[in-house]
Amino acid sequence: MGVKKRVPAKISAPGCGIARAGWLGYYPQAHKRGKEAAIVTVWDRWRIPIMLTPTLAVIIFLFLGGLTYGALVSLGWQPIIGRTEISLRAYHSIMFSEQYAEAFWQGLALTIWVSVGSTVISALLALASALLLRRSFFGKRLATFLYQLNLPVPHVVAAIGILFLFSQSGLLSRTGAQLGLFDFPRDFPILVKDRFGIGMMLSFVWKEVPFVGVIVLAVLQSLGVDYEDLARSLGANRWQRFVYVILPLVMPGLLSGSILVFAFTFGSYEVPAILGVRFPRMLTVTAVRFFQNPDLNARTEGMAISVIISIIVFFLVLGYMWLSRRTVRQD
């Protein structure tokens, strides 16, 4: 994920390192460039801030601005309808009121179950499939191409595809019927629009396996087989090579891919809206429903749910990154 860091061999912007003594430590040879410090121009000093400004403007005004304003609304601040007092009423109402509490906690449980489940299953299958596709075999190029074919398929379409495949009158059910397993669509188990989020997980896993797999495959391919050959020559068997050589090397890629998958599934709307049920309902769908309510007061509850979603995702990802920093070498 991280941007590659590099100490430039030659610095064409002296203003960013020479003028202030505190920064000299970054550059091993900075003391040799004493002369350049004399010709620092205003442009040099402001160069980096100016270059960063357009992107930061988008992030600060649209991203942080939207989040902050949303958080304010969730606290009951809606000057448009004359409400300027700040309170935690909406949070209290969602989490503890008789009307909403059950839907919220069940929805939270379902959201965590679906996103954690999809992430773990996707990561495992991605690792397995990357190992399959790494070996050289006849037709490898074609197989790799077909493997990546669903990467640009949007989640709306993925959800519909799962519906076509796994609904009670879908392709799988029809195949079963041809084999004499079922007589009627109703004999087929409910796998989409089900209480346990199986349909959503199928949809997410179908989309994310190639996504994480491509990342892992790229790592495996760039490593080559040298490390494994070395381990083999030292007497490591297949399993030992996997656990002690391959796994530690692909772990950073696997983890960063999983973080993106988890964060995405936790906050995604389309798949739960198409493949979910009324109860329990995924948190994002509940939030959007509150938001669509013509009564502007309901927005407060909708915003509160989406703030809760953001906070949970943020801290889970942070904790996950902290854990993986500790257990995985980052280099």
Using CB under 8 A as the binding rule, the residues of this chain from 127 to 146 that contact other proteins are: 129, 132-133, 135, 137, 139, 143, 146
Part of the chain binding other proteins (CB under 8 A), chosen from 36-44, 86-94, 224-232, 258-266: 258-266
And the tokens for 1? 């994920």
d(C-alpha 34, C-alpha 18), whole Å: 7
Phi, psi torsion values for 151, nearest 5 degrees = -55, -45
CB of 98 vs other proteins, minimal distance in Å: 25
Which residues ranging from 198 to 257 are in contact with other proteins (CB under 8 A)? 206-211, 214-215, 217-219, 221-222, 256-257
Which residues ranging from 161 to 190 are in contact with other proteins (CB under 8 A)? 161-165, 169-171, 174-175, 177-178, 184-185
Angle (nearest 5°) at CA 252 between 246 and 255? 110
Shorter beta-carbon distance to other proteins: residue 151 or 323: 151
Does 88 sit near other proteins (CB under 8 A)?
no
And the tokens for 231? 């381990």
Burial pattern 168-181, b for ≥16 Cβ within 10 A else e, equals: bebeebeeebeeee
Closest to 28 measured CA to CA, from 36, 17, 39, 16: 17
What amino acid occupies position 6?
R
Shorter beta-carbon distance to other proteins: residue 17 or 107: 17
Q: What is the CA radius of gyration of the chain?
A: 26
Shorter beta-carbon distance to other proteins: residue 245 or 275: 275
8 Å CB contact between 256 and 243: no
Alpha helices in 224-297 (DSSP H): 226-233, 238-241, 247-267, 270-275, 283-292
- List the x/- string, 41-80, binding to other proteins by CB under 8 A: ------xx-xxxxxxx-xxx-xxxxxxxxxx-x----x-x
Shorter beta-carbon distance to other proteins: residue 98 or 254: 254
Residue given tokens 């995702």 in the structure block: 313
Which residues ranging from 97 to 126 are in contact with other proteins (CB under 8 A)? none
Shorter beta-carbon distance to other proteins: residue 98 or 142: 142
Which residues ranging from 261 to 320 are in contact with other proteins (CB under 8 A)? 261, 263-264, 266-270, 273-274, 284, 287-288, 291, 299, 302-303, 306-307, 309-310, 313-314, 317
